[in-house]
Chain A
């Protein structure tokens, strides 16, 4: 196995060839904020939270999709990156209708956690208050577009792990929405196997278990990780 030596925030880190900066940092105990990344499925570099500075590159690069290179020098916490990350989170809060106080995942939400992580105490951007819908047609699950941040984790998890491809993205720009089937009510989509992986993967309360009350819903975040490890490494016990 080829090994690459890289430097992250001044620390020497050894990484496997082909590994992403994000993985290498994670193994070394260096945390890089991320939102659209979910272990076990392909990356899309859409949330821009994991952008890092690589010496010699005049643009920030997404840590999740940038493979390590020998003698790469990476900075993950420059003041500018910290400021930009906070702005991204503010943009997300202003873009949707994220009312933590009445959300099923209040206290168990990765967007909420990220807001704390980047130090967001308010949004400098005006709230958009978009008109978005809720789909409660499924027997077990619900979807609230107001809380959707379009990370497309559900899309990828359903496609790549479950193989059902129930979810996709429709529309463009600020009108983009996650849709089930051919933009049908979720409950009417035959392809859905009711496995619930999308709900487990959702960072916010956009996909939820029906019957959850405010702040009550908790996810089994390790379930997806377990499934991936099971498949890849044939480790079938948790």
Chain B
């Protein structure tokens, strides 16, 4: 494979494209709503109408409006149909041909789409994720060629640094710095890892990218491999994502076949291979040191940092670990330039962020917006506000490691620093809308239960502390608690935060601390109404010893 061949494939793909394309989403969300059947029916309907020469039915990835799947988009008319039933296939084909359809149309001018800025998701819902040619046709693998022939490792890393890209897994560490560190480490063996162990409840950004545009990830990992001098990459993906795994495997096979993975890529002296490692369902394996242990075949338990994986990673070798979304930004940064990327978003948080907008919101799904957009714009305009009959009480970001933003602070812009000031974090991109029907103690309890169950058990504060915090929250929720219990909860939470070994334990108290900060009255109400109004003796004083 050389550049000419690559461009030939792209041109051929362009040439063979039919006049109209019916894009049918077959990613996990729409699949669950019977999109596979719909896709079959669309194929049949096109054939039955004798329009094969004119219309292509393409199986594509996520279009974002997951709450209203299955979704079908007509290209180039830019018409989107929502909640399409398999038996509406024929009528959609009719409509393409100038007739009428019973399918419901979603307004593409709606803020849900109009406010988006697709970088990571630029190909999602537009290309066929199971065909490498489809990715090549939109310029795929050209950036890999470019870095191999036109850029030195350090020019490449510098471009990433200039872009200001920060890790999208949650912590927001500058990607350029991370790569630079590993690149400078001595040693012949280095590794590149993609963390696709997305585990936050309500988050599905990474799954969507993997299912919709897997080649983008492979190209980006190869680029990262070139940058740091690694010839081996691992994608650590959770077993709960079977479709993503299937598509990744397919993509790796296709890339190998075309010589875009393997030895002497593009006839250069750069070799790179990618292996998939499937996680067995432990949330903690999303923590990078636990993830490394798991890749090495050990028990998925974290160990203290430093040393960081950039220095001591898989089998002791320097290892770059980035999240799926971080990688997905790389080809675009190289295509458009670091400066271009740095101009999007805010000064310290550049680019865009993909959010999984869920909870009690009208339009739930996946959105990609420039950093710095306010939470109000996201949940009220794009999301359409709370579901009928209720109001928004809070928005939760960062999953079990994050916190709540009360309705009064919805004008906060989404960037790493602003969210941190409010006691929450950007996290990997889960955004859960909480409405007035939800009690915040129950809400905190849900996340604490999650952390308790997902604690690996290695360090005591997390293993035993989450159990105790959960029990106290349970006591409060069941109106059995006293002020003394609240006092213990408030003593324990900071201790677990400050003494736990890894990020899981260090952030496990966040939902509690955050709800206590903004919704303390809900805790107090439950405590005051405890014991059917009869205050037990132990509530009168707080045990201070």
Binding site for B on A (CB under 8 A): 44-48, 51, 59-62, 65, 83-84, 87-88, 91-92, 94-95, 121-122, 124-126, 128, 149-150, 168-169, 171-176
12 intermolecular pairs with C-beta atoms under 8 Å apart: A47-B459, A91-B464, A94-B464, A121-B545, A125-B488, A149-B460, A150-B463, A169-B457, A172-B454, A174-B452, A174-B455, A176-B457
Would A92 and B460 be within 8 Å (CB), given that A172-B282, A173-B452 are in contact?
Answer: yes
Interface centre among A46, A62, A88, A95 (most CB of B within 10 A): A46
- Whether, in the assembled complex, B495 has its beta carbon less than 8 Å from a beta carbon of chain A, the answer is yes
Task: Indicate if the CB atoms of A45 and B495 lie closer than 8 Å.
Answer: no
Would A88 and B499 be within 8 Å (CB), given that A47-B459, A65-B304, A173-B453 are in contact?
Answer: yes
Q: Which residues from A are CB-within-8-Å of B303?
A: 44-45
Task: Indicate if the CB atoms of A91 and B460 lie closer than 8 Å.
Answer: yes
Task: Indicate if the CB atoms of B454 and A173 lie closer than 8 Å.
Answer: yes
- Whether, in the assembled complex, B500 has its beta carbon less than 8 Å from a beta carbon of chain A, the answer is yes
Would A46 and B459 be within 8 Å (CB), given that A91-B464, A128-B467 are in contact?
Answer: yes
In chain B, what residue has the closest Cβ to A130? B467
Give, as a whole number of angstroms, the nearest-CB distance from B425 to chain A: 16
In chain B, what residue has the closest Cβ to A48? B499
| Cα separation A110 to B456 with both chains bound (whole Å) | 24
| Cα separation A51 to B496 with both chains bound (whole Å) | 13
Give, as a whole number of angstroms, the nearest-CB distance from B293 to chain A: 12
- Whether, in the assembled complex, B543 has its beta carbon less than 8 Å from a beta carbon of chain A, the answer is yes
Which among A47, A92, A169, A173 is the interface contact of B299 at CB below 8 angstroms? A169
Task: Indicate if the CB atoms of A173 and B463 lie closer than 8 Å.
Answer: yes
Give, as a whole number of angstroms, the nearest-CB distance from A118 to chain B: 13
**B interface majority secondary structure:** helix
Give, as a whole number of angstroms, the nearest-CB distance from B461 to chain A: 6
- Residues 39 to 56 of chain B near chain A (Cβ within 8 Å): none
In chain B, what residue has the closest Cβ to A85? B499
In chain B, what residue has the closest Cβ to A177? B457
Contacts A124-B488, A172-B284 given; 18 further ones with Cβ under 8 A?
A46-B459, A46-B460, A48-B461, A48-B499, A61-B304, A83-B495, A87-B491, A95-B467, A121-B545, A125-B488, A149-B460, A169-B299, A171-B457, A172-B454, A173-B452, A173-B457, A174-B457, A175-B457
Q: Which residues from B are CB-within-8-Å of A47?
A: 459-460
Would A172 and B464 be within 8 Å (CB), given that A51-B499, A65-B304 are in contact?
Answer: no
In chain A, what residue has the closest Cβ to B471? A126
Number of A-B contacts (CB under 8 A): 95
Q: Which residues from B are CB-within-8-Å of A62?
A: 304
Q: Which residues from B are CB-within-8-Å of A48?
A: 459-461, 499-501
User: What total of chain B residues lie within 8 Å of the partner, measured CB to CB?
Assistant: 33
- Whether, in the assembled complex, B525 has its beta carbon less than 8 Å from a beta carbon of chain A, the answer is no
Which among B282, B455, B464, B501 is the interface contact of A45 at CB below 8 angstroms? B501
Give, as a whole number of angstroms, the nearest-CB distance from B312 to chain A: 13
Give, as a whole number of angstroms, the nearest-CB distance from A218 to chain B: 26
Q: Which residues from A are CB-within-8-Å of B301?
A: 169
Task: Indicate if the CB atoms of A84 and B457 lie closer than 8 Å.
Answer: no
Task: Indicate if the CB atoms of A88 and B460 lie closer than 8 Å.
Answer: yes
| Cα separation A47 to B499 with both chains bound (whole Å) | 10
Task: Indicate if the CB atoms of A87 and B495 lie closer than 8 Å.
Answer: yes
- Whether, in the assembled complex, B465 has its beta carbon less than 8 Å from a beta carbon of chain A, the answer is yes
| Cα separation A126 to B453 with both chains bound (whole Å) | 19
In chain B, what residue has the closest Cβ to A126? B471
- Residues 460 to 499 of chain B near chain A (Cβ within 8 Å): 460-461, 463-468, 471, 488, 491-492, 495, 498-499
- Whether, in the assembled complex, B458 has its beta carbon less than 8 Å from a beta carbon of chain A, the answer is yes
| Cα separation A48 to B464 with both chains bound (whole Å) | 12
Task: Indicate if the CB atoms of A46 and B495 lie closer than 8 Å.
Answer: no
Q: Which residues from A are CB-within-8-Å of B464?
A: 91-92, 94-95, 125, 174
Task: Indicate if the CB atoms of A172 and B455 lie closer than 8 Å.
Answer: yes
- Residues 388 to 428 of chain B near chain A (Cβ within 8 Å): none
Over the window 487-524 of chain B, the binary record of Cβ atoms lying under 8 Å from chain A Cβ atoms (1 yes, 0 no) is 01001100100111100000000000000000000000
Q: Which residues from A are CB-within-8-Å of B488?
A: 124-125
In chain B, what residue has the closest Cβ to A86? B495
Give, as a whole number of angstroms, the nearest-CB distance from B94 to chain A: 54
In chain A, what residue has the closest Cβ to B487? A124
Interface centre among A60, A88, A173 (most CB of B within 10 A): A173
Task: Indicate if the CB atoms of B501 and A46 lie closer than 8 Å.
Answer: yes
Q: Which residues from A are CB-within-8-Å of B453?
A: 173
Give, as a whole number of angstroms, the nearest-CB distance from A75 to chain B: 14
In chain B, what residue has the closest Cβ to A149? B460
Task: Indicate if the CB atoms of B463 and A125 lie closer than 8 Å.
Answer: no
In chain A, what residue has the closest Cβ to B469? A125
Task: Indicate if the CB atoms of B456 and A91 lie closer than 8 Å.
Answer: no
Q: Which residues from B are CB-within-8-Å of A121?
A: 545
Would A173 and B460 be within 8 Å (CB), given that A44-B303, A94-B468, A126-B468 are in contact?
Answer: no
In chain A, what residue has the closest Cβ to B466? A173
Give, as a whole number of angstroms, the nearest-CB distance from A233 to chain B: 26
Would A172 and B498 be within 8 Å (CB), given that A45-B303, A94-B468, A124-B543 are in contact?
Answer: no
| Cα separation A110 to B154 with both chains bound (whole Å) | 53
In chain A, what residue has the closest Cβ to B499? A48
